[in-house]
Structure 1
Amino acid sequence: MHPSAKPKHSYPLDAWCIRETSFDTQSHFLDETLFALGNGYIGLRGSHEEGYSGPAGTSLDGTYLNGFYESEPIHYPEAAFGLAKTNQFMLNVPNGKGIGLWIEDERFDLLQGTVEKYERTLDFRTGVLQRALQWKSKKGRRVSIVSRRVVCFEHKHLFAMEYVVTPLNFFGRVRLVSTLDGAVKNLEAGDDPRIGSAVSGPALHLVDSDQEEHFSALLQRTGNSGFSLVSATATELRHAGPHALRLLKNGQRLEQSYEVQADEGQAVRLTKFGCYYSSRDYPAKELMWRSRDALAQAQASGFDALLLEQTQYLADFWQRADVEIAGDDALQQGIHFNQFHLLQSVGRDGKTNISAKGVTGEGYEGHYFWDTEIYIFPFFLYSKPDIARKLLEYRYAGLGKARERARQMSHDKGALYPWRTIAGEECSAYFPAGTAQYHINADIAYSIKLYFEATGDDDYMLRCGAEILMETARIWLGIGNYDRGGRFCINQVTGPDEYTALVNNNYYTNAMARMHLNFAADVAARIAAAQPGEFARIAGLMALDAAEPEEWRRAAGLMALPYDVALQIHAQDDSFLSKKVWDFANTPKENYPLLLNYHPMVIYRHQVCKQADVVLALLLLSEEFSLEDKRRDFDYYEPVTTHDSSLSSCIYSIIASEIGYHRKAYDFFMETARLDLDDTHGNTHYGVHTAAMAGTWMGVAYGFAGMRVVKGALRFAPTLPAQWRHYTFKIHFKGALLQVRVEPGRTEYRLLQGEALSFAHRAEALELTLSAPVLSRA
């Protein structure tokens, strides 16, 4: 088993915030990720306004825009037909949060002088990052500095800051310099394939700039993807006395320098608003005036009004999404941290998705994966269904590119979604662990099925969902074939386990394909019967032959699903059980993760799993397996799984809980719940792990509460971990909002919204109504 790393850093336990009470250079890089702010579009790493003068490689002062990218050709030493041609990577865009501070002739620097008091807090209920400190310069001058920062949920393109300096023991000159710095670049890739891009220089080229008394703007353009971007800031200084203002320009760096004579105890307040507008959203010619207008409106509203909006937005979110746990303070903090970062990271416009690292860092280059559909989507579906629909709309927007990719992969019809992408093209340069993961099509189909069963949203199904389902279902007949025994086989694919590649009949892939084919055929039949005009329209869009749905059913009915009779387990694929088991006993702990220390071929020829594969199928297709099946499969695969992937532990926790392995369930759950706060994978400084964060929510709802949706029916089988006094969570389902509270010996179900909701508690059918909104069961 992969040994868990020890926590690199810890924070005082508070359910609703993370707080650091001293400035720590050792954890600085990590803290930049953990204290990051975002709104699903803008992401500001938790870098200090004044910058950081520490050693190279200990800071990444990043600002990111979800879905805004540069592209570059992928260079293969040995090319082959159909390999991905172009990479896309999220850009580090101009830094608008910079504020420099000079006290007389001394510059404020956290690494110089003496930090006498220090506290920084990220509050999950207000969405505000606040820092308060007291600093003494080398010459003995002492100041108080309080800064607040917010990235606005209600305004996609806007962030705001307040910076207050108060002299404590002197009268003298205080200078504040607000900067907009366009001379930024991305992190360069090293030996770890999970981080960085191949571009070494600036990816944004200056086209024009504008600088006025309190306004700065940069107009830039990407070289290959062809996007324009305006980054702009507006500043305002408040001080009892007069001030002098100087405008400075140094290449792509614009400065507004404010100088005042400040009395002891007299506050100097700088308010700063920033925005980002790109041609991915608006015509290039509109970007500058839109930026001016947005900043003018923000200034007119004021900083405090934006904070109030933020608090109100988050109050509504927590009212619907909060998971409460009594009995483990570290876990409660971890869950709130995870939920908050998921909300900060997810695109809500139908054009963007959620990347593996959100908008907190450059790991995986800002790419979107299957993580969205299988791990993250359920959290939003049951907490904020409107966001879930936007994620599905993003997949519909990419259907054209998926059709193109299918043709590149020699499928004459259908659509094949990319393994990793931003704008729809396949960006995976390593096809055995990328393009070969055809299960991406079934994963997207699964999320559409989950969404429809939870919402009954016919509008989405008719506008988008049915077309995606049927176009992607076609691919299974394109890649699969019937063998001599009549089984439908899917060969040369890679399942979720990336330590086992290019195999025949990966169990997860085939089982999910069967679900996909049957569901696509069911949807086709339902729409054809109920709304024949709509079915004719959809069929016309994709030139669907009338016989195709029955071909899907036939393939599903004859699907090859590997099973080992002797072991009585579901085999991961046709060859997995014939391989040599990895020598875990003699693998040094420093050799994990294996992908960084062994050639892929060495790993591929062994029985070793990076993450849940068959075990994931046990969750997603739960009704297809008996409890004995699940126990035998878990017992076999758990010892050969390293959990080198952050996607793994949460799934093992859920299945362990279901089969009664309560200690293992809790241990696996805790590996996920504070994965980023405790940096247990040792790479959170490059960005959070959004799939693992959502996996924590799944661990509560799917794991300990035993929540499943089977054929549209909701059911629970709750258990209470011995370490907890109780836990509570809420889900949206079929127009209702249900609260589930699990205590020792009882579960309380409470209808918070909606007129009625039917579901099952273990094997008992229950119904909540307006007249009977609360039920308790043992």
Structure 2
Amino acid sequence: MINLTNQYMKHQIKAILFDLDGVVVFTDKYHYLGWKKLADEKGWDFNEQINHACRGIPRMASLQVILDYNNIDLPQGEKEELATLKNEYYKELIKQINNDDLYPGIIDFLKKLKNEGVKLSICSSSKNAMTVLDALNLSQYFDVIVGGNDIKNPKPNPEIFLKGAKLLNMHPVHCVVFEDAESGVEAAHAAKMKCIGIGTPELLPNAYEHVIDYNEVDIRALLDAGRVKRIPEEPWNITETEIKKNRFSFWESVFALSNGIFGVRGSLEESDTGYDEYPATFVNGVCGYEPYNHLWKLPGYPETHHAILNICDWTKIDLTVDGETFSIDSSEILEHKRTLNMKHGIVEREFKWKTLSGKVINVKTTRLVSMVKRHIAALRYEITPDENCEITLTSQLNLDTISKVKAGNHKKITSRAVTNGADIVNIAIKTSDDKVVLAQTYSFEGKNHNLGFDVSEKTNAGELFVLDKFFSVFSTMDAVENKITGLIEKEIISARENGFDKLLDEHKKFWADYWNGADIQIEGNLQDQQGVRFSLFHLRQSNPERPNRSISATGLSGDGYCGHIFWDTEMYMIPAFIYSQPETVRDLLEYRYSILNKARERAIQMQGKGALFAWNSVKGEECGHVYEAATAEYHLLPDIAFAIGMYDKLVGDDDFTLTKGAEIIFEMCRFMVDRGCYIPHKGGKFCINVVCGPDEYGCGVNNNAYTNEMTKWMFNYAISIYKRAAKKSPELFEELSKKIKLSEDEVNEWGKAADNMFLQQPDENNIIPQDDCFMDMDPVNMDLIPKNTDIRDNYHPLNLWRLQVVKQADILLMLFVFGNKFSKQIKKANYDYYEPKTNHGSSLSPCIHNIIACEIGLTEDAYGFFRQTALMDLNDFKNNTKNGIHSACLGGCWMTVVNGFAGMRDYENKLIFNAVLPDAWTSYSFKIAYKGRRFNVKVESSGIEYKLLEGKPLTIELNEKRLVVSNHFTK
């Protein structure tokens, strides 16, 4: 079998495009001298300021800058003659060019990139680029050279970079541009490429990152994420060490804190710069609605769209010292460090501000969103000046926040009052029935205890000034409208009276208990350890543990995907919880029951029976207007059933499974048995036609293998629940049967459909067709398809649907879920066949490929997929972390270690491990909760250790041998 270690598994960035002047070589002085000579001859003013405005633009444009500055208007012919004359001067001058004119460190930098297999291009507006490169013997380093003679439209038009990428056979998503001119930065952005500015943020404010010395560039960070430096590698922390204004939104997502009920993005307390900021507080389940305006509306099209709303920004604090207000944008910041402390679940920040009068102000902030008091968040603001001064803190509750994904203002303030020192605001959502109440209050430890929303104090040098701010939120998701104001008043006053320290201590204890049971420990690679804990942290803080809420595709870290819940929760997040904190899973399943009536309505809209859950939704109404890759993904229904089945098997909660769980599953079976049909051409088999499987590039297909296997499983599981309920809880069973008018004939029909389900079969090469038509689709040269990005925006659907290209694991997901049905030979054959055809356009894809790669012996391929998963957001792998953290990827990270490297499978009450150790690690360990037991697994080069921590001894299968796990270490 061929080892498929693909470059894109290692690095996202595969091509670097360089401007020439001021980036590779300093020719600007020769340009300056050429223009200066011309200007002197003509008697024009020309200086460094004018010269700077000429950088990065063509000769004619530069001449126009000079003429405009001198208020001169010339005929076009004369301008062309002057530009040609300047070029002659320039060509004569660059005969003097030598290695001293090279940008320091550029040669070593180019050599390092070439050694990594990176494609390199020069993209310069200069028409003399080749002359310069040849004079310095630089052409050898570049695969492609695009100069001013090769393009029609100069920068800031993206033509030059798009042409360079095309000649390199690279998609823009895999390219990084190095530029020293703002016009070039703008062109790179227009080409949808990351851009690193050669210069300072002041000169190039819109560049993605900045560097002055090529020796500062971390090659791995550059190729992994298009960054100059990696995030510092620490086992428990994520640390920001400098303020980059165009990266505010990225850090806001990374530093977001939540507890599943509400979440706050990690914006800076004093930020209000107008840069890349999105301060926001989201309340899980509180949404605004807008009507869909369909040009052509057909039955089943969604009527409205809804999304979670940016309710407020409660973190805003203005700091003033001796009348001077601190500004992120303009104040002198001597030091800055901000840290997500994952061990304690807090964000800490320290900075030093030098005022205009020369005083140094030391500031520390600590922020938490309580995992114990789920309606409370708090912020401590500590100030220590080095000289006597007057400090004023002005705290704000900004209610004018606008949501990125919902146009207009959906909020109406119905009342606002101060009660017992707490500012309480009632808000009605104008486009829904949701009501929200917010509260803020303060505790000030200083000489003056007169509490207001502005706190001012004369402070001595070295004296600590502390303000504690408390915030609370309730909504009609928590209680009826006439009770939430009373609830919030009690909650916010209690938090203030108990104090910040108590709130912090109990919050830390929560996280200590969580990490004790759910941590994954990795030895050998600190960045991998950091990425895994980042995933586990964000996943846990996203779980609301309330029966009417779930976890969205970005949790509460942003409003990407509009806060909608997808199949991700059941298939990629619940596994991590069910094997570490099974007690937290029931509420995630109860959420589906809370919107079951909406699913029944959706089934009717789709001219079906039973219940059809919305593909993407918060409240239960379908929001996915792209029906071919939303509504058509009927596999969502058996996915939900599968999660209920996991919970049933591992927890044994008949109180849920045989009542609400059964009702959900029975109604979904009704829909699916009605949706399918017995097809004579298929030998009378039960077929499910015109669907979309997990591969969202393949729409309207018949008999998607994953969908059919999952639906067969659901039918059989439903029958087993039906029989169990009738036997164990006859009264409840009869009540449910009457409620939904379920007959035994219906159940028998499910059994008939399951027994006759059309299942895709392996061909002579052991390849299982993804669906009825995949093998007949147009073959594709995958070298032309960008990797790790969704390509649906690049094609008309009719062109994409006919291509043999896969977005994410589809067949391979089936081989994982039903792994006991398929041999290792079949898994190998299908990995070899489908992986090269997969562009991993979804963050859900790498983790499943990791699992199958481990199983078939491709451990290092698996390790590449693991790193894609674990570092998806820390590396901003898809350049969209600013919209929120990828929740499914968080659960997928757990799966890569436990199901992937450790090889854990849970088939028919048989727990199996087949562990491998990637070369980058010396060991890894984790704990598993299993049917009332808890045991530890440790994998190292010398072998595998198991130790029972709680419960009765457990028999497992290790490398096809039975093993009893007891309270002694077992190898």
TM-score class normalised by the smaller sequence: over 0.9
CA distance in structure 1 between the aligned counterparts of 2:908 and 2:543, rounded to whole angstroms: 28
- In the alignment, is residue 448 of structure 1 matched against residue 644 of structure 2? yes
CA distance in structure 1 between the aligned counterparts of 2:419 and 2:460, rounded to whole angstroms: 28
Return the TM-score normalized by structure 2. 0.75
CA drift of 1:201 comes to 1.6
1:716 to 893, 913, 921: 913
Q: Aligned ranges for residues 22-37 of structure 1 at < 5 Å?
A: 22-37=242-257
CA drift of 1:766 comes to 2.5
8 Å Cα contact 2:789/2:840 also seen in 1: no
CA distance in structure 1 between the aligned counterparts of 2:876 and 2:370, rounded to whole angstroms: 27
- Which residue in the other structure is 1:172 paired with? 389
- Which residue in the other structure is 1:496 paired with? 694
Specify the code of the residue in structure 1 equivalent to 2:781.
D
Q: Aligned ranges for residues 270-349 of structure 1 at < 5 Å?
A: 270-349=467-546
CA drift of 1:244 comes to 7.0
- Shifted more, 226-235 versus 9-18: the winner is 9-18
CA drift of 1:643 comes to 0.4
1:43 to 263, 267, 292: 263
8 Å Cα contact 1:144/1:167 also seen in 2: yes
Specify the code of the residue in structure 1 equivalent to 2:970.
S
CA distance in structure 1 between the aligned counterparts of 2:252 and 2:727, rounded to whole angstroms: 55
CA separation of 1:424/1:15 partners in 2, compared to 1, >3 Å: closer, same or farther? Answer: same
- Which residue in the other structure is 1:603 paired with? 800
SS in 2 for 1:429: coil
2:311 to 89, 93, 114: 93
Specify the code of the residue in structure 1 equivalent to 2:616.
R
1:470 to 650, 656, 666: 666
SS in 1 for 2:469: strand
Query: How many residue pairs end up in the alignment?
Result: 749
Percent of aligned pairs with the same amino acid: 37
Specify the code of the residue in structure 1 equivalent to 2:655.
D
Q: Aligned ranges for residues 569-580 of structure 1 at < 5 Å?
A: 569-580=767-778
Specify the code of the residue in structure 1 equivalent to 2:586.
R
Specify the code of the residue in structure 2 equivalent to 1:40.
G
- In the alignment, is residue 733 of structure 1 matched against residue 930 of structure 2? yes
CA distance in structure 2 between the aligned counterparts of 1:663 and 1:743, rounded to whole angstroms: 16
CA distance in structure 1 between the aligned counterparts of 2:400 and 2:803, rounded to whole angstroms: 47
* Unaligned runs of at least 5 residues, structure 2: 1-5, 14-223
SS in 2 for 1:501: coil
1:147 to 365, 372, 375: 365
Specify the code of the residue in structure 1 equivalent to 2:715.
L
CA drift of 1:141 comes to 2.5
CA separation of 1:546/1:587 partners in 2, compared to 1, >3 Å: closer, same or farther? Answer: closer
Specify the code of the residue in structure 2 equivalent to 1:80.
L
1:158 to 376, 382, 405: 376
CA drift of 1:603 comes to 1.2
* Unaligned runs of at least 5 residues, structure 1: 188-196, 247-255
CA distance in structure 1 between the aligned counterparts of 2:268 and 2:326, rounded to whole angstroms: 12
CA drift of 1:95 comes to 1.3
Task: Judging by fraction of residues, say which structure has more strand.
Answer: 1
Specify the code of the residue in structure 2 equivalent to 1:203.
H
- In the alignment, is residue 4 of structure 1 matched against residue 221 of structure 2? no
1:59 to 263, 277, 284: 277
Residues 213-240 of structure 1 show CA distances to partners (whole Å, capped at 9, x for unaligned) of: 8421221111121211111100122223
CA distance in structure 2 between the aligned counterparts of 1:622 and 1:604, rounded to whole angstroms: 28
Specify the code of the residue in structure 1 equivalent to 2:283.
L
CA drift of 1:596 comes to 2.6
CA distance in structure 1 between the aligned counterparts of 2:349 and 2:464, rounded to whole angstroms: 16
CA distance in structure 2 between the aligned counterparts of 1:321 and 1:208, rounded to whole angstroms: 43
- In the alignment, is residue 21 of structure 1 matched against residue 244 of structure 2? no
Specify the code of the residue in structure 2 equivalent to 1:584.
M
SS in 1 for 2:397: strand
Specify the code of the residue in structure 2 equivalent to 1:166.
T
CA drift of 1:754 comes to 1.0
CA drift of 1:765 comes to 2.1
CA drift of 1:114 comes to 1.6
1:702 to 899, 915, 930: 899
1:221 to 403, 418, 428: 428
Return the TM-score normalized by structure 1. 0.94
Q: Aligned ranges for residues 323-402 of structure 1 at < 5 Å?
A: 323-402=520-599
Q: CA RMSD in A?
A: 1.7
CA drift of 1:27 comes to 2.6
Specify the code of the residue in structure 1 equivalent to 2:714.
H
- Which residue in the other structure is 1:250 paired with? none
8 Å Cα contact 1:214/1:236 also seen in 2: no
Q: Aligned ranges for residues 455-604 of structure 1 at < 5 Å?
A: 455-484=651-680, 485-563=683-761, 565-587=763-785, 592-604=789-801
SS in 2 for 1:623: helix
CA drift of 1:701 comes to 0.7
CA distance in structure 1 between the aligned counterparts of 2:233 and 2:786, rounded to whole angstroms: 33
SS in 1 for 2:559: coil
CA drift of 1:372 comes to 0.3
- Which residue in the other structure is 2:876 paired with? 679
- Which residue in the other structure is 1:664 paired with? 861
Specify the code of the residue in structure 2 equivalent to 1:456.
G
SS in 1 for 2:377: strand
CA distance in structure 2 between the aligned counterparts of 1:317 and 1:609, rounded to whole angstroms: 37
SS in 2 for 1:180: coil
Q: Aligned ranges for residues 421-440 of structure 1 at < 5 Å?
A: 421-440=617-636
Residues 522-575 of structure 1 show CA distances to partners (whole Å, capped at 9, x for unaligned) of: 221222234333322222222111122222122112111223524431111111
8 Å Cα contact 1:233/1:274 also seen in 2: yes
CA separation of 1:277/1:592 partners in 2, compared to 1, >3 Å: closer, same or farther? Answer: closer
CA distance in structure 2 between the aligned counterparts of 1:546 and 1:564, rounded to whole angstroms: 35
- Shifted more, 208-217 versus 123-132: the winner is 208-217
CA distance in structure 2 between the aligned counterparts of 1:363 and 1:219, rounded to whole angstroms: 26
Structure with max Cα Rg: 2
Specify the code of the residue in structure 2 equivalent to 1:773.
N
Residues 238-294 of structure 1 show CA distances to partners (whole Å, capped at 9, x for unaligned) of: 223x37766xxxxxxxxx212222222222211110001112212222222222111
Residues 649-684 of structure 1 show CA distances to partners (whole Å, capped at 9, x for unaligned) of: 000010010011112111111111111111111100
8 Å Cα contact 1:116/1:136 also seen in 2: yes
Residues 683-741 of structure 1 show CA distances to partners (whole Å, capped at 9, x for unaligned) of: 00110001011101001111111111111221111111122111111111110011111
8 Å Cα contact 2:789/2:878 also seen in 1: no
CA distance in structure 2 between the aligned counterparts of 1:41 and 1:603, rounded to whole angstroms: 39
SS in 1 for 2:288: strand
CA distance in structure 1 between the aligned counterparts of 2:484 and 2:891, rounded to whole angstroms: 35
Specify the code of the residue in structure 1 equivalent to 2:271.
G
- Which residue in the other structure is 2:135 paired with? none
- In the alignment, is residue 134 of structure 1 matched against residue 352 of structure 2? yes
CA drift of 1:126 comes to 1.1
CA drift of 1:588 comes to 6.0
Residues 564-612 of structure 1 show CA distances to partners (whole Å, capped at 9, x for unaligned) of: 52443111111111011233223467x9431232222221110111111
CA distance in structure 2 between the aligned counterparts of 1:695 and 1:677, rounded to whole angstroms: 15
8 Å Cα contact 1:178/1:235 also seen in 2: no
8 Å Cα contact 1:569/1:629 also seen in 2: yes
CA distance in structure 1 between the aligned counterparts of 2:419 and 2:671, rounded to whole angstroms: 56
CA drift of 1:11 comes to 1.9
CA distance in structure 2 between the aligned counterparts of 1:704 and 1:490, rounded to whole angstroms: 35
8 Å Cα contact 2:658/2:721 also seen in 1: no
CA distance in structure 1 between the aligned counterparts of 2:832 and 2:262, rounded to whole angstroms: 44
CA distance in structure 2 between the aligned counterparts of 1:515 and 1:317, rounded to whole angstroms: 33
CA distance in structure 1 between the aligned counterparts of 2:964 and 2:384, rounded to whole angstroms: 60
SS in 1 for 2:963: strand
SS in 1 for 2:528: helix
Residues 121-165 of structure 1 show CA distances to partners (whole Å, capped at 9, x for unaligned) of: 111121111111111023322201111111000111110111011
CA distance in structure 1 between the aligned counterparts of 2:852 and 2:617, rounded to whole angstroms: 30
- Which residue in the other structure is 1:117 paired with? 335
